[in-house]
Amino acid sequence: MSTTESLRKYLASYQLALIEDKEKGRSVIATAPLERGSIITTSQPLGTVPLKANRHEFCNYCFRKLGSATATATAAVQYSNAPPPLQRCSRCKSAYFCDMACFKNAWLSYHQFVCRPPSNDNDKNDNLDDEDDSQLDLEMTERVALNVSRFMKRNQSKEQQQQEESQPEPNDEETVQVTMEAFASLMDHLDNHPRYLLDHYQFIAKTVREKPYLCDTPLQEKDLVKFLGRFKCNNFAIYDEQLFTIGEGTYPIASLFNHSCRPNAAVLFDGSLLVIKAIDTIEPNEEITIAYVDIAHSRTERQKILRDKYFFKCTCERCRDDNIIGRIDAMLGEEESDWDRAERLLNNNNHGDNKKQDISQQIMDLINNDWDLLEMTKTYNRRNGKIPDQSKPLSLQYYVHFLLPFLTPYLWSASNPAIQFVGTRSPPNSSSSSSANSSATLKHLTEFDDPPAHAALPYPGGSYREILESAIDQLSTYPPADIIPFRITTLATCTRLFFDTMMEGQWRQATKLGMYILVQYSIIYPPYHPMLAQHLLLLAKSAWNSIIQNEIQGRKLETFQERGVRRWILLAKEAILYTFGKQSTMWREVLELEWIFIRDQNLKK
């Protein structure tokens, strides 16, 4: 059996193949059609390390989050069944596990070697700062070295080898052999690493090699240095369902997939298991790509990260200017540099008469004083073709209400023809169009009450790229505003304000900011990207809470607000179904919100 035969058979069982590419080197392609939402493959970790800051929040072995009720942004949805608390290791008092089974697995794997009572001495982990990346590197190297050493020793046992050959395992299971073959094939790029990093790797390797439980390992210091090089270029951040980073993992199978700033697949986690899902339909012989960096970054920032960490220059369609996807970066502009942030802070600390108003305050003033949500929604809808005055700058609120009818829900319906529309042409303020199926008791939201794309005014376009190009083209016809709404710096500020206003219960303001972020995310991310799915749920919650808040304050409940909530719930259901799936917490949350919304609608009939 060749060194890669097990790996190739494993990939073939998932309808995948490794090919050699002149430009990219090795690529993973599909050998059969892959549907959107399907699991392309999974990847077992060779080693995982939780971040110290939140080790008490999730199991340090399986990485499932337990111990507290799921936090949500909606006051309308309450969770009464809190999961059981985590169990802390009684000896070291620093590791947490969800049950005895996970503790036993962790103990056999690595915990027995690192578990020791807390002490007040100053030689914690060989003088490495617990908060430093060095500690993360040390722990990862220890755990991977333990697993690789076990594998090497096992292969040296002829009796064990004969046993395994007589009992072949299924090709669709990621065996230890498959994982090790994939890990051994990963590039370490040691020739490209700066000197200070190589010195760091040497120090970590020497420290690990001196561990008592690794004294008899067949691995040498030079092998561990190579491991650290592979970690730098291949390791994944592990995140929870809310997309917060909770740890780091070495995932050899997932590391075989190349990067694109416009990926057709996404990395998700089921505890510590890495899952690669298709976020678009993938044809035979098409390369499967994932994103190594957040594609909301500017092109300059993405290229810098990819060059410094992964040692390549990206030439995907997003990084070229010869197509509509590549035009997104010109629209976004550049991110705020460290010098820009320093200058802004100095200006804001200047108490003189010429003090420049902070952009955050400018945006909040606009949202509170100049943005009439209901009036703007009535003016710019999907039925009258109204567009803002092209002789005036496109300010934030006009940008949102002008582009939303182009993008939502039509980017999704262009990608998925199965999406249904009621198709009514009644004016928006007509009682007959206040909600679909108004004469019957609603049970589920299944249809958009917007007109289908061919009947929408203005006409958004027929395909995904046509819709995106039509929306971006519109921006060039307007003079620049004081706050340019489509810049990445504006998005960064509004994202921070969005979470601030949700935390403060300012739901009307949060809804406006969430609608703006949705416009930007719809342009930046593919329609079924996890970031869009997560944001759509947050926007639906914010919009619903805004309605509840208005009712409590005695304000008139407007049909337009209800239609907005309906649209965001439907889009959230659509995106979550194909990304996180029906087994996810997000799916349960969106169904619960849908039930509350429908109950309210039925009570009004």
Encode pLDDT of 1-44 as tens digits: 344 889 999 999 999 999 987 777 899 999 999 999 999 999 99
Residue pair 422/455 in contact (Cβ under 8 Å)? The answer is no
Mean pLDDT (whole number) for 355-372: 87
* Cα 443 to Cα 262: distance, rounded to the nearest angstrom: 37
Identify which of 243, 263, 238, 248 has the alpha carbon closest to the alpha carbon of residue 316: 263
Encode pLDDT of 204-237 as tens digits: 999 999 999 998 899 999 999 999 999 999 999 9
The amino acid that residue 209 corresponds to is R
Phi-psi sector, 194: left (phi>0), alpha (psi -120 to 50), beta:
beta
Sequence-distant (≥ 6) Cβ neighbours of residue 219 within 8 angstroms: 145, 148, 149, 152, 209
Identify which of 291, 357, 569, 324 has the alpha carbon closest to the alpha carbon of residue 468: 324
Predicted confidence band of residue 247 (pLDDT cuts 50, 70, 90): very high
pLDDT of residue 37: 97
Residue in this structure with the two tokens 């403060």, named with its chain if needed: 504
Of 506 and 355, the one with more pLDDT: 506
Quick one: how far is CA 560 from the chain centroid? Answer: 30
pLDDT of residue 118: 80
pLDDT of residue 440: 57
CA dihedral 339→345→347→353, nearest 10 degrees, is 180
Sequence-distant (≥ 6) Cβ neighbours of residue 141 within 8 angstroms: 204, 205, 208, 224, 227, 228, 231
Mean pLDDT (whole number) for 86-90: 91
Per DSSP, the three-state class of 43 is strand
* Cα 406 to Cα 453: distance, rounded to the nearest angstrom: 9
Predicted confidence band of residue 64 (pLDDT cuts 50, 70, 90): confident
Identify which of 43, 486, 495 has the alpha carbon closest to the alpha carbon of residue 243: 495
pLDDT of residue 130: 46
Q: How many helices (H) and strands (E) does the chain have?
A: 21, 14
**Cα–Cα distance list, 232 to 76, 115, 145, 309 (Å):** 43, 26, 16, 7
Q: H or E element: which one contains 27? A: strand 25-30
pLDDT of residue 426: 45
**Cα–Cα distance list, 44 to 113, 182, 520 (Å):** 22, 11, 34
Structure token digits, residue 264: 């057709």
Encode pLDDT of 171-192 as tens digits: 678 999 999 999 999 999 999 9
Encode pLDDT of 568-579 as tens digits: 999 999 999 999
Of all residues in the chain, the percent with pLDDT exceeding 90 is 71
pLDDT of residue 444: 85
pLDDT of residue 216: 87
Residue pair 18/41 in contact (Cβ under 8 Å)? The answer is no
Delineate the domains of the chain, giving CATH numbers in brackets. Answer: 1-44+253-320 (2.170.270.10), 49-234 (no CATH), 327-338+358-603 (1.25.40)
Encode pLDDT of 93-144 as tens digits: 989 999 999 999 999 999 999 888 886 554 445 455 544 678 899 999 999 9
Q: In the chain, what's the furthest Cα-to-Cα distance?
A: 84
pLDDT of residue 436: 43
Question: What is the chain's mean pLDDT, rounded?
Answer: 87
